[in-house]
A and B are shown apart, each in its own frame.
Chain A
Amino acid sequence: MSGPAQRIFAFAGLGAALLLSLLGWATATGAGAGTEGAPFEAARAIVGGLCAGGLAFGAGLAVEGRLAAPGAPPGLRWGRALLWGLCLMGALGVVALGLGVPVAWSWAALVAPAADGLLRWRRGLCSPAAPRGAAVWAAVLVLLVGLPVALAPPTDTDSLYQHLGLAHRMGLREGWVGGPLHADGSRPLLLIGLWAGPLQLFGPSAAAVLHLGIAAATVALLSERAERAAGPVAGWLAPALLLPEYTVLHEAPLVGNNLPVAFAVLVASEIAAEGGRGLGLALGAALSFKYTALGGVAAVLIGGPLSVRARLRAGALAVACLCPWWLRSAAEGLHPLFPSAGWGESAGSALTFQHLEKYGAGRDLGSMLRLPYTAVFTGEPHTFRFLGRLHPGMAAASLLAVLPARRAALGSALGLAFALGLWAAGPQWLRHLLPILPLVCLQAATNAIHLMERLTDRPRALGGIAASLAALALLDAPNNLGPIAGEINDTVALHRGLESREAYLRRRVVGAEAAQWINAQLPAGAVVALLRSWDTALVDRETLLGTVEDHVPLRHLILQRGPTFIAALREAGATHALVGPRAFTPRAYPFLSGPAYQKAYGEPEAALEDALLMGATLLYARNGYAVYALDPAGTDGRPPPDR
């Protein structure tokens, strides 16, 4: 790019950021997830995603420009710069949410660093080489496949209850949320702060576009790293292994944390492998995004060519990044590490956060060894077993990645084996595998090239690999890519203007109609307790409680407070309740004895329905969802004596 063009670009970016900040200040806070319904939503979302990404990248360049050692080669730092920028934007967003001011104000604070970064870029102090070749094609492919879903209103459960839901809830409450009635808010909030900006300024689809951009950046960085490690063929091979995987393409256009974690882990592995500062920060960012980064963090620390001292220093810094969140949780009376940990004891041992027996294919040695087979042949995207289906190419790549093909890769193979084992010991959801999948593909592609170099007939081997990958992708397309095509197809009527955003939401999210009823009918000052409902982002009223695995927060409250739990909600300010459908059946918990199931699930469900009948007034009921007004009188979930 020529000098004048760079200058124009830099000043245009600054102007746009300033304008957006003013716009955010003017529009203040509180944009519900996808209820606007105008055709220009798509353009607004793309502009919003680009602005957020551009501002973060500019600010990240400034940080990286200071972190990079003098004389470090240019062209290796765009991934790091983007990560630092996203973290900075997220951290400032968290501060803005805590202070109850529009997150746009925090974007205004990024303008100066972004200007600094762009000026450094212009002066050549920090020169991110543009991705080329395979990296660009892979990123474009991710963007093209993901954009139709990203531009539709988010309907994914995790987006609604957590990623957008928490940002929306904090925006409405004008402050942080946390503690037993907002347990999800007591997790690290770095990503929530990141999504809050585009959500408040441009609507929920802008956050999805930003997330899609991070997914594309992850694939591009993977390709670049593979190319640097093992040549141009590896640059094509690594994304070719990653992209046929259903979970990757499914998650890319959502608003989530698994792919940002994968991006942070990939950046950390780049720093560990190629040198530079900020390894601990990158690892800390990954863990702050989601604790399931642990496997990837371990893989980087074990596999990276680092001294013991560097490993310890990076690990300690990563943990230090989490300390503020742990201290906050402890101050709120929750377990420092995870808000729901320890609730079983306080609720008479009837509460287990997650029954691992419900998920995956078993954790005994035989089951673990059979995992590559079972995950390929028995996984289904819409069942709880793996929440996806492993692509056979990815299963092969996993085996190839832990193969110590060369002496230099021994540590990496060991680190990845540890990370894969850690995943297999957990719920075995394929989305929890995402944080290490880019590392797996990188290592597999590198190993494949090094193995191939030992062969005499290299062109024929290359052709064989390409043909095998194409055949695998084609043969497995109905399983891994078919559902992706279905998800895209489901948005066609919306994008052609044949279906409104509200109707799309109602069709895709069972509770959306109840949420829309609340938005239309309840007073602006209503505070809605979400009971068995995941639809936090769809309710444009202050909310509390909400849910997570097996509706643990609600069951905890009921087991602790008994029939007075409605009174507890009322004391916390709730005026109404949105109640989702009955959730549990004994058949889903065959590993629990009858009495144990009854105590953990049956009794809380019965107590909920009894308490609502005795202490609330039904206002709406449809599709299994109900809206109640909590009766103002009565303190025990029972009517007052004179009733």
Chain B
Amino acid sequence: MAGALLAQATGGAPLFPAGPAASTLPVYALDATCADPRFPALAGPWAVGCGPLGLVDRAVFLPTNTLILFPEPMSSPCVSVGQVWEPGVADRLLRLGPRTATAEPAAPSPSPAGPCATADGLLASQRADQLSLGEKSGPRRQLPARPIGWSPLAIAAGWLAWVEAVAPGVPQVFVWDGQGAGKPLGAPGSRHVIGAGGRMAWIEPGHIARWDPVRNAVERWPADTGFSAGLGFDGEIVCWETRGARDVDLQCSDGLQVRGPGHQRAPSQWGPYLLHRAEGHTWLTTRAATRAAGGS
């Protein structure tokens, strides 16, 4: 069954990728709508999504199109390459393999007040008044903070990013290196921060920003997005939603565009893959070749 997932017909709603050579096909195994709108999402070459109950309980290993069912469903986990983690009472850390998902023990975390983050062997969770960062076992470092709740955390190169309200209704991206105090990173109004490949990206009013912690350099390019989903980002390529006169389409920094009938939404980007939702289905656009993101 799993081997045929990506080979099925597009079912009367063809999508039209433009830019780099690419093809778009439905991923029927991940068609169910997730209760957590951040899913389905890519965890490296795995596409993680939901079953009929809307809980995150499965992944598709894209190179072989193998469907992997999780030992237990999760409500609101976070993912990084080959890893799925959900903090809370029943801490669960899943290692994804080509055929199976293996549960590993992790140090227990308190029930979170918003989505977690995992990357580079680090786990981060948020409570209403505190952030927590550490490895899967061993002590976690704590930082008093007031994250705005639903907005996800991000990890890149040992830095933890979160979104905090600096004034009523005004979010801003902050970062913390695990030592000392946190500091503001994005402009007022910045949000939807995401970390991958040692970098972070986020959305600001009128711009997308990308931060390289090693060089401490921020690149920005104009984009009017962030009205619904956040960014798809793998460290190099950024993909985002664009609102046209009639509907929503997807645009990537390497020139890839996904257009079609209805709204193309919720991009998740890793390597050659761009996972997204359109017309109640989950779709995968696969590039024949990629090129690096542009910035200004």
Chain A residues close to B by CB (< 8 Å): 517, 520-524, 526, 610, 613-614, 616-624, 626, 629, 631, 638-639, 641, 643
Which of A526, A619, A629 counts the most chain B CB atoms within 10 A? Answer: A619
Contact B37 A521 (CB under 8 A): no
Contact A638 B245 (CB under 8 A): yes
Q: CA–CA, A523 to B35, complex, Å?
A: 27
Contact B150 A517 (CB under 8 A): yes
* Cβ-based interface call for B165 (8 A): yes
Q: CA–CA, A276 to B248, complex, Å?
A: 69
* Cβ-based interface call for B84 (8 A): no
* Cβ-based interface call for B228 (8 A): yes
Contact A643 B263 (CB under 8 A): no
Chain B residues near A643 (CB, 8 Å)? 224, 243
Contact B243 A639 (CB under 8 A): yes
* Cβ-based interface call for B226 (8 A): yes
Chain A residues near B150 (CB, 8 Å)? 517, 619-622
Contact B35 A624 (CB under 8 A): yes
Contact B226 A617 (CB under 8 A): yes
Contact B149 A620 (CB under 8 A): yes
Contact B35 A623 (CB under 8 A): yes
Q: Answer whether A616 and B227 are a contact pair too, CB < 8 Å, given A521-B165, A522-B168, A522-B169.
A: yes
Contact A613 B248 (CB under 8 A): yes
Chain B residues close to A by CB (< 8 Å): 35-37, 76, 148-150, 165, 168-169, 224, 226-229, 243, 245, 247-248, 263, 265
**How many Å from the CB of A341 to the closest CB on chain B?**
35
> Taking chain B's interface residues, is the majority helix, strand, or loop, or is none over half, making it mixed?
loop
Contact B148 A521 (CB under 8 A): yes
Contact A614 B169 (CB under 8 A): no
Chain B residues near A619 (CB, 8 Å)? 150
Contact A613 B168 (CB under 8 A): no
Contact A613 B263 (CB under 8 A): yes
Contact B149 A521 (CB under 8 A): yes
In the complex, residue of chain B having the shortest beta-carbon distance to the beta carbon of A609: B263
Write 24 A-B pairs (CB below 8 A) sorted by A numbering.
Answer: A520-B149, A521-B148, A521-B149, A521-B168, A521-B169, A522-B168, A522-B169, A523-B168, A524-B168, A610-B263, A613-B248, A614-B243, A614-B247, A616-B227, A617-B226, A617-B228, A620-B150, A621-B37, A621-B150, A622-B36, A624-B35, A626-B37, A631-B227, A639-B243
Chain B residues near A621 (CB, 8 Å)? 36-37, 150
Q: CA–CA, A623 to B149, complex, Å?
A: 13
Q: CA–CA, A265 to B41, complex, Å?
A: 59
**How many Å from the CB of B192 to the closest CB on chain A?**
10
Q: CA–CA, A643 to B248, complex, Å?
A: 12
**How many Å from the CB of B260 to the closest CB on chain A?**
15
Q: CA–CA, A610 to B248, complex, Å?
A: 10
Contact B169 A617 (CB under 8 A): no
Contact A617 B149 (CB under 8 A): no
Chain A residues near B149 (CB, 8 Å)? 517, 520-521, 620
Q: CA–CA, A617 to B189, complex, Å?
A: 12
**How many Å from the CB of B103 to the closest CB on chain A?**
25
**How many Å from the CB of B206 to the closest CB on chain A?**
11
Q: CA–CA, A614 to B245, complex, Å?
A: 9
Chain B residues near A618 (CB, 8 Å)? 227-229
Chain B residues near A520 (CB, 8 Å)? 149
In the complex, residue of chain A having the shortest beta-carbon distance to the beta carbon of B111: A503
Q: CA–CA, A517 to B37, complex, Å?
A: 17
Chain A residues near B168 (CB, 8 Å)? 521-524
Chain A residues near B265 (CB, 8 Å)? 613
Which of B226, B227, B245 counts the most chain A CB atoms within 10 A? Answer: B227
